[in-house]
A and B are shown apart, each in its own frame.
Chain A
Amino acid sequence: MLAVEAPVNWLTLLSGTVVGLAFGYALQRGRFCTNTGFRDILLVRDSTLFRAWALAVVVQLLGVTALTSLGLLVTSVPPLWWAANIVGGVTFGVGMVLAGGCSSGTCYRVGEGLAGSLLALIAFGVGIVAMSQGALAPVQTALRNTVLTIDGQAMTVANLIGVNPWWVVVPITIAAGLWFWRSGRSSYRSGGWEWQAAGAALGVVGIAAWLASTASGRAYGLSMTGPLRSWFGFFFGGNPNIDWGSMLIVGLLLGAFVSAAVNRELRWRVPKGERLLQSVVGGLLMGLGAQLAGGCTIGHSLTGLSVLSVGSVVSTAAILLGAWVTAYWMFVRPSQQLERTIAQAAD
């Protein structure tokens, strides 16, 4: 007999895995990491990966807005709980610079064999569980208490200024397009994808994720925090539900592994002890921050922005702030001091 209480079916799990495979492959070939993208603007004035990220956002924004206006997709929008967005975002930004990778960056590097990323990922999960259902849950409850909405709907840039989303999407696309047009080629020596290919591929993966995931009953696109929470909850927190997002993570790890293996970039890389500790602390902060903010640089800064969520804009700004302050304090300031010392020695 056909059970009414059917568990998530195999097609759901397969589609999550397939989108995850493509996601992991594109991340690995594109060397895509929002941490590197955000950080290198400040550190070496290099915006190559930042452009890849921006292109992925624009492609997904166009695709999702088109599908929504054609009535083919109904999206859900991350809420604006501003206190949680800001505190969580800054915490995540600090964490990702310490760990040397954002949540997706950390995941695909596990597939490539980075020991530091593996530790960061485990700590990430610990942070998520602590904040969502552990000792820090009251913090989350308190900071998520104030939710700003427009007529009971989650706040988006479009409904905030009261216009059709296209009035926001078109200017953003034109501005970004001009910027992409004017920026030249960047040098790649490792044989990875150029930023244009990486950005476009990730945008397409994002659109496919919205469709496949929503069809499975999970009303969201690409994300890392919720899916990681489902796995860590499954193993350590009594969550029995493995859904589309959970399989996305499995696919991501596999996709990055396959990509690294066929391109002979698979290698067990172990940094020194001090750096491992730094990865653990960074991963923990990322987990706490991402859970609090309700998403990370994927859930907010890629998927949330594709539905113009104000909560995601605030979170992304907070992540940038946290990342830049940390990068300045850890890398820019020490090298400036070094330059001064060298200049003095030369005198």
Chain B
Amino acid sequence: MVGIEVLLAALLLGFGGLGLWQLNRPLSAEGNLIVSDVPEGSVLLDARGPLAYRSGHLPGALRLWSRDLLAFEGEVPGMLASPEALAETLAALGLDTARPVVVYDAGTGEDAPMVTLVLRAMGLDAYLLRGGLELWRSNGGDVTTELPPVPRPSSATLTFDSRLLVDAEGTRRHLAENAVAPLDTRAAPLYLSDHLDGAVNLAASQLLPAGTFPRWSELDQLLERARLTRDTHPIIYGDSVAQAAQAWLALAAYGVPHIHVYAGPYQGLVAAGLPITQVVAQAATSTRTSSVCWQ
């Protein structure tokens, strides 16, 4: 039965080689979240603040500052605005599910990941523009101060995905079901002083250093160090939604399928009375594994 053996050997080498290629290609190959060009018929969104927008933006880009998606009047400032308020904001910009949306910021990853995340949670077909305004400029792209025509408000009904963006109650429920791995994306010293029970630390600045992506294998190493794999279901939180969104972007681009992001700052979790570990002694590296597959 030499035929079968040759066939199996060829298939085996083929799929082994495919794996090798997949593991070592740059992240830019991941096209379902990040785009390098603005596709025809898409809506452009500038996620930077009003001053930056006025001093120059991509032609035709509408303005949606990431801060406009937050609420500052509550007990904990910086929580994500209510789904109704978000739907209203997005409808006023004329966004609907029919056209893809491309979001950019200065290229720092400060604003665009969060706007992309919120748009995706609202069911929109949102992508992030690789490199932001900086890369656009250096590639010789046009920048204008001319304001685009005021968009016609859309009448699309947008539904909020409460699995992608979870509130404190949702976080508590996920933790109780023991199905998620809390991921703290704040800087290491903050994590070391106190964090959510059972959380591992992977700073957003490591996952998305200055808005650029590490290679697959480097990300692999980072996740390995934090005892995460693409199989774990992380629940991400940070100092702000914007910080958590950076980690979300990196993990989602990397192919982690089930990600939850806490829709508020870490202080919101503390205020909601979620179990917090106060670390007195020096850094304890967590060696207990949760859902990493050894077997």
Give yes or no for direct A-B contact (beta carbon below 8 Å): yes
Residue of B nearest to A25 (CB): B8
Residues in chain A near residue B23, CB distance under 8 A: 72-74, 211, 214-215
A74 near B224: Cβ-Cβ < 8 Å: yes
Instruction: Indicate if B46 sits at the interface (CB-CB under 8 A).
Output: no
Residues in chain A near residue B257, CB distance under 8 A: 5-8, 217
- Given A5-B163, A7-B257, A22-B11, the answer on whether A294 and B295 have CB atoms closer than 8 Å is yes
Contacting residues of chain B (78-126) with chain A, CB-CB under 8 angstroms: 97, 120, 123-125
B18 near A212: Cβ-Cβ < 8 Å: yes
Q: State A212–B20 Cα separation when bound (angstroms).
A: 7
Task: Give chain A nearest CB distance to B161 CB in angstroms.
Answer: 8
Residue of A nearest to B283 (CB): A152
Contacting residues of chain A (52-77) with chain B, CB-CB under 8 angstroms: 67, 71-74, 76
Residue of B nearest to A223 (CB): B295
A4 near B15: Cβ-Cβ < 8 Å: no
Instruction: Indicate if A19 sits at the interface (CB-CB under 8 A).
Output: yes
- Given A15-B18, A74-B220, A299-B295, the answer on whether A5 and B258 have CB atoms closer than 8 Å is yes
Instruction: Indicate if B9 sits at the interface (CB-CB under 8 A).
Output: yes
A241 near B12: Cβ-Cβ < 8 Å: no
Instruction: Indicate if B217 sits at the interface (CB-CB under 8 A).
Output: yes
Task: Give chain B nearest CB distance to A160 CB in angstroms.
Answer: 15
- Chain B window 228-266, contacts with chain A (Cβ cutoff 8 Å), 1 for yes, 0 for no: 011100000000000000000000100111110000000
Task: Give chain B nearest CB distance to A250 CB in angstroms.
Answer: 15
Residues in chain A near residue B230, CB distance under 8 A: 216-219
Instruction: Indicate if A288 sits at the interface (CB-CB under 8 A).
Output: no
Q: State A67–B4 Cα separation when bound (angstroms).
A: 28
Residue of B nearest to A230 (CB): B293
Residues in chain B near residue A204, CB distance under 8 A: 12
B19 near A215: Cβ-Cβ < 8 Å: yes
Q: State A207–B8 Cα separation when bound (angstroms).
A: 15
Q: State A215–B295 Cα separation when bound (angstroms).
A: 17
Instruction: Indicate if B289 sits at the interface (CB-CB under 8 A).
Output: yes
Residue of A nearest to B284 (CB): A152
Task: Give chain B nearest CB distance to A221 CB in angstroms.
Answer: 10
Residues in chain A near residue B125, CB distance under 8 A: 1-2
Q: How many residues of A contact B (CB 8 A)?
A: 63
Contacting residues of chain A (266-320) with chain B, CB-CB under 8 angstroms: 290-291, 294-296, 299, 304
> Which of B8, B217, B294 contacts A226 (CB under 8 A)?
B294
Residues in chain A near residue B120, CB distance under 8 A: 4
B19 near A226: Cβ-Cβ < 8 Å: no
> Which of A6, A67, A226, A262 contacts B293 (CB under 8 A)?
A226
Instruction: Indicate if B151 sits at the interface (CB-CB under 8 A).
Output: no
Q: Point out residues on B near A: beta carbons under 8 Å.
A: 1, 4-5, 8-9, 11-20, 22-24, 32-33, 97, 120, 123-125, 163-164, 217, 220-221, 224, 229-231, 252, 255-259, 285, 287-289, 292-295
8 A/B residue pairs, CB under 8 Å, sorted by A: A2-B33, A5-B259, A73-B23, A73-B217, A211-B20, A217-B255, A220-B295, A299-B294
Q: Other CB < 8 Å A-B pairs besides A19-B12, A19-B16, A74-B224, 19 of them?
A: A2-B125, A4-B33, A4-B259, A18-B12, A21-B8, A25-B4, A25-B8, A76-B229, A211-B16, A211-B19, A215-B19, A215-B20, A220-B294, A227-B295, A243-B231, A263-B1, A291-B295, A294-B295, A295-B295
Q: Point out residues on A near B: beta carbons under 8 Å.
A: 1-2, 4-8, 11, 14-15, 18-19, 21-22, 25, 67, 71-74, 76, 78-79, 147, 149, 151-152, 204-205, 207-208, 210-220, 223-227, 229, 241, 243, 245, 255, 258-259, 262-263, 290-291, 294-296, 299, 304
